[in-house]
Structure 1
Amino acid sequence: MATRRDFLIQSAIFSAGTVLLPSCALAPGAKGGLGVQLYTFRDEMAKDAIGTLKKIAEIGIKKIETARSGKGHYYGLSPKEMKTVCTDLGMSLVSGHVHLDKNFDKTVEEAVESGQEYLICSTMPTRGQTVDNYKSVAEAFNKAGEKCEKMGIHFGYHNHEYEYESDNGQILYDVLMDNTQPDLVHMELDLGWVIVAGKDPIDYFKKYEGRFPLWHLKDMDMAHKESTEFGKGGLDIPLMMANQKLSGVKHIFIEQEEYAGAPIDSMIHNLAFMDKL
């Protein structure tokens, strides 16, 4: 009997006019295949978290990374409920985007309850594009990482474009890398924002080998500086995938913030693109 997943994949094949193998959830070198950052489905998750997770599971996604929302870190579900729903759907809750703020202790406790492996700070806790501020933030990240490690969680940081600005001749992201402890601060590299900033992810893989256990795989429309479907932007995805070992990546999350149509259609396209690799 044909399943909804079969129907969706066959539809993607018909639309693209390509031959697609039924392994779209898998990526060489990334443990357990590809995941998705749920910010991709932010509106849908806010309206119907469980129903949206079911649709994501049906197209073959195996890993989930949450994003802070108006309903909390788990879209109105408790941490245990989120874990149970993902498990029942054959997915694993691996990571979550949070803020490093006054409620961070509670955030860590929730992450422990959810069973997730990583807590990723999604934005600079203090703004200021100076070397001194980034050194201060690095110290705060080291302390947060130590707190998380004691609770069995890995702490990390997700970059944007602005971290690649310079102050006094120093790239601020490099200041952050040079002043954080690799065993306490685990970097999630957003490959799309790296190229928008005019940098090459491969250069960072080489300079900080093995320090990027998580990726956001995001193709970018370079003219508009916004995300797009795989193969339509400026990221050399095959080259990135060929350098997984150098980066140290363990978990790859697809993220797309803007779409040509519905988010689920963009995700099906992206999975089909990855299959052709």
Structure 2
Amino acid sequence: MISRRHFLKQTTVAGSGAILVPNLSFNLYKKPEYGVQLYTFRDELAKDAKQTLKTIADLGIKKIESARSTKGLYYGLSPEGMKKECEALGMKLVSGHVALDDDFESTMEQAVRSGQEYVICSSLPSKGQTVDNYKSVADAFNKAGESCKKLGLKFGYHNHEYEFESHDGQILYDVLMDNTDPELVYMELDLGWVVVSGFDPMDYFKKYPGRFPLWHLKDMDFKEKESTEFGNGDLNIKKIMESQKASGVKHIFIEQEEYTSTPVESMRHNMKFLKKLS
């Protein structure tokens, strides 16, 4: 008998059906230059940001995406300091997770000083799992996108699981997609949460081609709804990687919130896993 995990590994089945991928080899695509979402190293960064950045660089990471912390957007470093540290280590600060709140003007100003390209809203700025709320959020996103564009930045949104709930017969994430301007709002698709929610990323790549320039790549334990090391969860990472062209992805950030050992050991495992795919 085929186990549930083995079956998911082979087909990456979600509630709506199997994930569809092109009949193309992973090797036909340009090898990605993987990045990491720094929330993966949140505790280490809080203790010693500079040393942690060096540790990340030593793992072969070339791109990073920051996340808000108790020490600010850059873990106690100034925007210029963060840029300087990354450049010295051969890394690029591409993106940052932020809040769309009353301090957003300061957030944008700091992002410009850091040299990053994307400013990504990390969670829904207002509560309410209704179509009307998501339309209101979409309006706020379009305005934020306009503000960012004027400063040479790109505004985006990172999903979780709840955006794929439905209200009045509509998938709320689709409401967000349909009411945001593709020229102003760029989507960072968290692949793990999409599939855990019972949906197929390829369906979104087909419906909204080129709308997902950023990914969060994470393996997930479907039962526990927790992230885990690549190959230890229920995602077929190889097949997902084959859908790069369809999604229009430019930056792939590895993210892992839970670990069997330490963040460093988990990331070392993940990098080795990805290397074997190429």
Q: TM-score, with normalisation over the residues of structure 2?
A: 0.89
Instruction: Report what 1:163 is aligned to.
Output: 163
Q: Which residue of 2 aligns with 1:5?
A: none
AA at the equivalent of 1:156: G
- What SS is found at the alignment partner of 2:100? coil
* Unaligned segments of structure 1, at least 5 residues: 1-26
Is the CA contact (8 Å cut-off) linking 2:95 and 2:120 kept in structure 1?
yes
Matched, 1:245 2:245: yes
The verdict on how the C-alpha distance between 1:109 and 1:54 changes in structure 2, with shifts beyond 3 A counting, is same
- What is the Cα deviation at residue 236 of structure 1? 1.6
Letter in 1 for 2:118: Y
Deviations 1:195-227 (A, max 9, x none): 111111111111111100000001100110000
Question: What is the match of residue 91 of structure 2?
Answer: 91
1:223-249 C-alpha deviation (Å, 9 max, x unpaired): 100000001112221111111010000
Distance, in Å, in 1 between the alignment partners of 2:272 and 2:32 is 17
Q: 1:259 is matched with which residue?
A: 259
Identity %: 70
- The structure-2 alpha-carbon separation of the partners of 1:275 and 1:67, relative to structure 1 and needing over 3 Å to count, comes to same
Aligned to 1:61: 61
* CA contact 1:31–1:250 (8 Å) conserved in 2: no
CA distance in 2: counterparts of 1:223 and 1:117, whole angstroms:
36
**Structure-to-structure mapping, 1:178-197, within 5 angstroms:** 178-197=178-197
1:172 corresponds to which residue?
172
Instruction: Check whether the contact 2:34–2:62 (CA below 8 A) recurs between aligned residues.
Output: yes
- Is 1:100–1:125's contact at 8 Å kept on the other side of the alignment? yes
What residue is the counterpart of 1:13 in the other structure? Answer: none
1:38 aligned partner: 38
Q: Which amino acid aligns with 2:193?
A: W
Check conservation: 1:32, 1:62, Cα contact below 8 A. Answer: no
RMSD of aligned Cα (Å): 1.2
- Aligned partners of 1:30 and 1:251 also within 8 Å: no
Cα offset, 1:172, TM superposition: 0.1
Counterpart amino acid of residue 102 in structure 2? K
SS of residue paired to 2:53: helix
How far the C-alpha of 1:31 sits from its partner, in A, is 8.1
Does the 8 Å contact 1:159/1:189 carry over to 2?
yes
SS at match of 1:257: coil
Higher relative contact order (CA 8 A, sep 6+): 2
Rounded to whole Å, the distance in 2 between the matches of 1:109 and 1:55 is 28
1:220 aligns to what SS in structure 2? strand
Q: Tell me, in whole angstroms, the C-alpha distance in 2 between the residues paired with 1:195 and 1:233.
A: 12
CA–CA distance in structure 2, aligned partners of residues 180 and 32 of structure 1: 28
Listed one character per residue, the Cα deviations across residues 86-143 of structure 1 (whole Å, up to 9, x for unaligned) are: 0000000000000000000000000000000000000111010000000000000000
Q: Which amino acid aligns with 1:143?
A: K
Aligned equivalents of 2:233, 2:195: Cα separation in 1: 10
1:184-223 matches, within 5 Å, as: 184-223=184-223
Give the match for residue 268 of structure 1.
Answer: 268
Structure 2: where are the runs of 5+ without partners? 1-26
1:180/1:30 CA distance change after superposition, 3 Å: farther
TM-aligned CA distance change 1:31 to 1:251, over 3 Å? farther
Q: TM-score, normalised by structure 1?
A: 0.89
Aligned twin of 2:51:
51
Once the two structures are TM-superposed, the CA of residue 164 in structure 1 deviates from its matched residue by 0.2
SS of 1:270 mapped into structure 2 = helix
**CA 1:57–1:28: 2 relative to 1, 3 Å:** farther
CA distance in 1, matches of 2:77, 2:188: 25
Paired residues in the alignment total 251
